[in-house]
């Protein structure tokens, strides 16, 4: 479903993401990181697993918040930007699946999805929409940089690092949409 | 399928997925259980040396491509800062290596040596034989993906928190390079430049 201005409706976006999620799960099945991480996390002590579950739960909440932001922002963007951001939304959904899978493997239960997420000041146009997804991608990166060293064992850290890596790419491409330098420094920090 | 002497991006990415699948075959607790599998014990010094060698190869290749006028102005402008990024990675890794008493490796000193290193790592394309921007971009793209793969493998082994953070920061940066190079390919868009939800590079 497409609205008068050519922008997809929220329903169409959600339907599209449902399809993409299925594709994402298929892609995940062929991916090594989550399976390796799942096997590894099962072999850790209960206390380590509890700590991991808490961190992964916070990461999942942040990914869901970013998904909500993309859903809210995509209709405000230009057609080429919408196409790219739908792709990024699908990938963020894949990240939620990966994190939920790791939580389950650690013996935990993924926290329920909230009815709504606080996205701060609402995006009202393309510029504020780009700024919002920029800020959330950056927040994800800075958060993962803090969380990953606390995770254990190493394969779980690697699995989560593969998510951080993609969020770094999203941030670079959102910067391109904002006419900013896509890679402003040699180390990702998530500070901007 | 080979086009223009180099693999297509789709093929490269497919190879990336295959590489990721290959990682799946690794035992999950390989690092923790090295003694029982006969694997040599993991050494942070050794891993740092491997990463520095790759970074030095990247520096050499970026310098060569940027100096050769093979890139169009748009791609040249986008990729020019990456040499400095790779040099910063080398400096950061070298300081950690020296702190551990490791010997700092040297990078390639000639095109011939660089090409041998590229061949050893399974990277298609050779310096001195690049026929245009497309060849150069694919060579750099593949080498970036091989480097991301090396960082991913390092992540499955490292224990030191500070080193883990550094490796994450560099791996994310290399992935950004990968996306920007992808964006410089013909008909690319920001969406096609980030085609997968999980990135583990070529291994």
* Beta carbons of A28 and B195 less than 8 Å apart: no
Percent of chain B with pLDDT over 70: 80
Choosing among A97, A161, A163, which should be mutated to test the B contact, i.e. which has the most B CBs within 10 A?
A: A161
* Beta carbons of A148 and B165 less than 8 Å apart: yes
CA distance A174 to A70: 12
Q: Which residues pair with A2 in a beta bridge?
A: A8
Mean pLDDT throughout B103-124?
A: 96
Residue B28 lies in a domain: no
Question: In Å, how far is A171's CA from the nearest CA of chain B?
Answer: 8
Residue-level pLDDT at A49: 84
- Considering the entire predicted model, what is its pTM? 0.82
* Beta carbons of B26 and A164 less than 8 Å apart: no
Residue-level pLDDT at B94: 98
- pLDDT per residue over B6-39, tens digit each? 333 333 333 333 333 333 223 333 333 333 445 5
Query: Is residue A89 within 8 Å of A20, Cβ to Cβ?
Result: yes
**Cis peptide bond upstream of A155, omega within 30:** no
Query: Is residue B39 within 8 Å of B29, Cβ to Cβ?
Result: no
Percent of chain A with pLDDT over 90: 68
Residue A81 lies in a domain: yes
- pLDDT per residue over B121-143, tens digit each? 999 999 999 999 999 999 999 99
Nearest chain A Cα to B22, which residue?
A: A32
A31 touches chain B (CB under 8 A): yes
Nearest chain B Cα to A163, which residue?
A: B198
Nearest chain A Cα to B149, which residue?
A: A162
- pLDDT per residue over B75-101, tens digit each? 999 999 999 999 999 999 999 999 999
CA distance A88 to B61: 30
Residue A2 is given by DSSP the state B
- pLDDT per residue over A49-59, tens digit each? 899 999 999 99
Residue A74 is given by DSSP the state G
Residue A161 lies in a domain: yes
Phi, psi of B6 (to 5 degrees): -130, 160
Residue A157: CATH number of its domain: 1.20.1260.10
**In chain A, positions 72-111, which contact chain B (CB-CB < 8 Å)?**
80-81, 83-88, 90-95, 98
Phi, psi of A46 (to 5 degrees): -60, -40
Query: Is residue A32 within 8 Å of B200, Cβ to Cβ?
Result: yes
Residue-level pLDDT at B12: 37
Q: B129 in helix, strand or coil? A: coil
Domain span including residue B174: 44-193
Residue B131 is given by DSSP the state -
CA distance A31 to A143: 24
pLDDT band at A71 (very low <50, low <70, confident <90, very high): very high
- pLDDT per residue over B147-162, tens digit each? 999 999 999 999 999 9
B194 touches chain A (CB under 8 A): yes
Nearest neighbour of B156 by CB, restricted to A155, A170, A185: A155
CB-based contacts of A174, cutoff 8 Å, min separation 6: A88, A130, A133, A134, A137, B190
Residue A15 lies in a domain: yes
Residue-level pLDDT at B38: 53
B78 touches chain A (CB under 8 A): yes
Question: In Å, how far is A134's CA from the nearest CA of chain B?
Answer: 14
- pLDDT per residue over A14-69, tens digit each? 333 333 333 332 233 334 455 666 777 677 777 678 999 999 999 999 999 999 99
CB-based contacts of A54, cutoff 8 Å, min separation 6: none
Domain count across chain B = 1
Residue-level pLDDT at A6: 39
Residue A188 lies in a domain: no
Residue B128: CATH number of its domain: 1.20.1260.10
A43 touches chain B (CB under 8 A): yes
Residue B16 lies in a domain: no
Task: For residue A31, count other CB atoms closer than 10 A to its CB.
Answer: 24
Report residue A61 as tokens: 């909440």
Q: Which residues pair with B2 in a beta bridge?
A: B7
Residue-level pLDDT at A31: 42
Report residue A20 as tokens: 């993409």
> Can you tell me the ipTM of this complex?
0.82
Residue-level pLDDT at B201: 85
Surface-to-core class of residue B81, CB atoms within 10 Å of its CB (0-12 exposed, 13-18 middle, 19+ buried): middle
Nearest neighbour of B180 by CB, restricted to A95, A166, A172: A172
Nearest chain A Cα to B197, which residue?
A: A91
Residue B10 lies in a domain: no
Question: In Å, how far is A63's CA from the nearest CA of chain B?
Answer: 12
Nearest chain A Cα to B31, which residue?
A: A154
**In chain B, positions 139-158, which contact chain A (CB-CB < 8 Å)?**
148, 152, 155-158
Report residue A111 as tokens: 């926290």
Q: What is the DSSP string of B151-202?
A: HHHHHTT---HHHHHHHHHHHHHHHHHHHHHHHTSTT--HHHHS--SS----
Q: A115 in helix, strand or coil? A: coil
Q: How far apart, in Å, are the Cα atoms of A4 and each of A1, A38, A85, A86?
A: 10, 46, 20, 19
Alpha-helix residue ranges (DSSP H) falling in chain B: 9-24, 34-37, 44-67, 73-99, 111-120, 133-155, 161-183, 190-193
Domain span including residue A60: 10-177
CA distance A60 to A147: 12
Percent of chain A with pLDDT over 70: 78
Domain count across chain A = 1
Query: Is residue A169 within 8 Å of A90, Cβ to Cβ?
Result: no
- pLDDT per residue over B35-64, tens digit each? 344 556 679 999 999 999 999 999 999 999
């Amino acid at each position: 479903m497409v609205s008068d201005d050519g922008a997809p409706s929220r329903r169409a976006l959600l339907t599209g993401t449902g399809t993409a999620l299925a594709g994402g799960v298929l892609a995940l099945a062929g991916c090594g990181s989550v399976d390796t991480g799942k096997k590894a996390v099962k072999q850790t002590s209960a206390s380590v697993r509890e700590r991991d579950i808490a961190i992964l739960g916070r990461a999942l909440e942040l990914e869901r918040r970013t998904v909500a932001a993309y859903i809210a922002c995509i209709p405000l963007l230009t057609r080429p930007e919408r196409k790219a951001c739908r792709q990024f939304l699908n990938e963020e959904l894949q990240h939620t699946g990966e994190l939920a899978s790791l939580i389950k493997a650690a013996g935990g239960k993924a926290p329920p999805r909230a009815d709504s997420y606080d996205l701060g000041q609402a995006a009202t146009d393309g510029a504020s929409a780009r700024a919002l997804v920029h800020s959330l991608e950056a927040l994800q990166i800075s958060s993962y940089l803090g969380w990953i060293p606390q995770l254990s064992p190493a394969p779980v850290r690697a699995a989560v690092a593969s998510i951080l890596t993609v969020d770094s790419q999203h941030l670079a491409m959102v910067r391109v949409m904002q006419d900013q330098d896509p890679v402003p420094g040699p180390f990702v920090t998530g500070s901007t | 399928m080979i086009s223009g002497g180099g693999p297509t991006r789709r093929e490269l990415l497919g190879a990336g997925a295959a590489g990721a699948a290959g990682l799946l075959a690794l035992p999950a607790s390989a690092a923790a259980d090295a003694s029982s599998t006969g694997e040599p014990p993991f050494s942070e010094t050794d891993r740092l040396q491997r990463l520095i060698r790759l970074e030095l190869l990247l520096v050499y290749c970026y310098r060569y491509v940027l100096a050769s006028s093979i890139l169009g102005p748009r791609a040249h402008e986008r990729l020019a800062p990456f040499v400095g990024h790779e040099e910063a990675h080398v400096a950061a890794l070298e300081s950690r290596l020296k702190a551990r008493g490791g010997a700092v490796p040297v990078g390639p000193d000639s095109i011939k040596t660089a090409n041998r290193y590229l061949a050893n790592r399974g990277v298609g394309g050779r310096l001195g034989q690049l026929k245009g921007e497309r060849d150069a971009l694919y060579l750099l793209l593949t080498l970036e993906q091989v480097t991301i793969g090396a960082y991913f493998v390092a992540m499955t082994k490292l224990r030191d928190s500070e080193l883990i953070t550094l490796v994450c920061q560099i791996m994310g940066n290399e992935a950004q390079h990968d996306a920007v190079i992808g964006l410089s390919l013909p008909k690319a868009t920001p969406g096609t430049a980030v085609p997968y939800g999980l990135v583990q590079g070529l291994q």
